Amino acid sequence: MSVVPSPGVRVLVDYRPALRARTGIGEYVHELARALTSGAGASLDLTLFSSSWRDRVAAETMAELPGARVVDRRIPVAALTWSWHRRGWPAIEWLAGAQDVVHSPTPLLLPARRAAQVVTVFDLYFLTQPAAVRGATQRDFTALVGDHVRRADHVVAGSHYAAALVTGALGVAAENVTTTPLGAPQWAADVRAARGTATGRTLLFLGTLETRKNVGLLLDAYELLLAQRRDVPPLVLAGGLGAGGDAWVARAMRAPLAAHVTVTGYVSEAARRALYADARAVVVPSLDEGFGLPALEAMACGVPVVATPVGALPEVLGDAGFFAPLGAPDAWAAALDACTDDTRMRDLSTRGLRQAARYSWADTAAATLTAYRAALARRAERR
């Protein structure tokens, strides 16, 4: 049976990850909503669901999402998350009205009475390294992900790497999975204009300081490089503090790193653009990545990327990636040293711009609409 989202079909997206500090998942939710309201999905009846005791969706945020309706409930996030994950209650229709499709940006379902249910998977790091995550991810994701993903009417995977995990590790049929790679930012052209012909000044890490991001390897390599030469580009660690990040911050504040490393904490979108404009290279030493949005943003801004060849990073970076292996501080130090070569950086910048042009949020939205069609068809078959 073919079911097509027709004008007026009711789609609800859980907007809560974008409510406060927009890290990777939050940026994905916001940009997907923007693309769905401005492109092929503009005829959808799109609802963005938010829930918090304290935080409200900002007026400037809504200005970027014309046509979307916000349902904002003053319910503590932790309480609702626990009830949804552990009790499957309350149904989203009770909180937000009748829907045709409900889309969770995590691997765990939004409880629904009648709506088709879609979940998103980027990685399964919480299964392979449960001690490295915390909060609801540690408590619920590890125990429930298999059941929830298999019960979903359709699964959205953020990369081909993630799709292979869903079909291989979780046993979901390939026809129930749609790959929806993320998009390059609309503001990248402004950053390129600000950069001009310069190759940048800093080495930039952008992301939550948590175990999976493997910043310890970066600091090991940077300290080795400092021992070899003193004219090393300054290192900027930009991102909020997560599980395992305290020790890295403390180390960055001690000699010999303190004079060369800046820790900014979480940065706004405007500050993020300024950091890209000043970056010689973006460094991604991760243990795993389900997509790697900062890597794509960097390429779109004309900034070369040094990364570990793990997860979806080889897929996203293609021939523009400057790869250094995991567990090899010497190799990473050499890669960071190579970032001082202007000719190499310009070549990687050109390659990165070409690679980034393959990714757009319009394509993300179009692929997601395909997933909604599949979810509606499967829900109809199950009734």
Domains and CATH numbers, the chain: 10-183+360-382 (3.40.50.2000), 188-356 (3.40.50.2000)
Tokens, residue 55: 């935080």
pLDDT of residue 2: 37
Q: Which residue is it, tokens 């021939």?
A: 319
Which amino acid is present at 2? Answer: S
Instruction: Say if CB 11 and CB 103 are below 8 A apart.
Output: yes
- The continuous run of DSSP H or E covering 72 comes out as strand 69-73
pLDDT of residue 1: 34
pLDDT of residue 55: 87
Instruction: Say if CB 313 and CB 355 are below 8 A apart.
Output: no
Residue 8 has pLDDT above 80, yes or no: no
Task: Tell me the percentage of the chain whose pLDDT exceeds 70.
Answer: 97
- The continuous run of DSSP H or E covering 266 comes out as none
How do residues 136-170 score in pLDDT, each as one tens digit? 888 999 999 999 999 999 999 999 999 999 999 99
Residue 40 has pLDDT above 70, yes or no: no
* Average pLDDT value over all residues in the chain: 94
Tokens, residue 105: 């940006």
Closest CA to 141 of 126, 122, 163: 126
Give pTM, 2 decimals.
Answer: 0.94
Q: How far apart are CA 340 and CA 353, in angstroms?
A: 20
When pLDDT is cut at 50, 70 and 90, the band that residue 125 belongs to is very high
> Which residues on adjacent β-strands are paired with residue 205?
237
pLDDT of residue 7: 55
Give the angle subtended at the CA of 376 by the CAs of 120 and 5, to the nearest 5°: 100
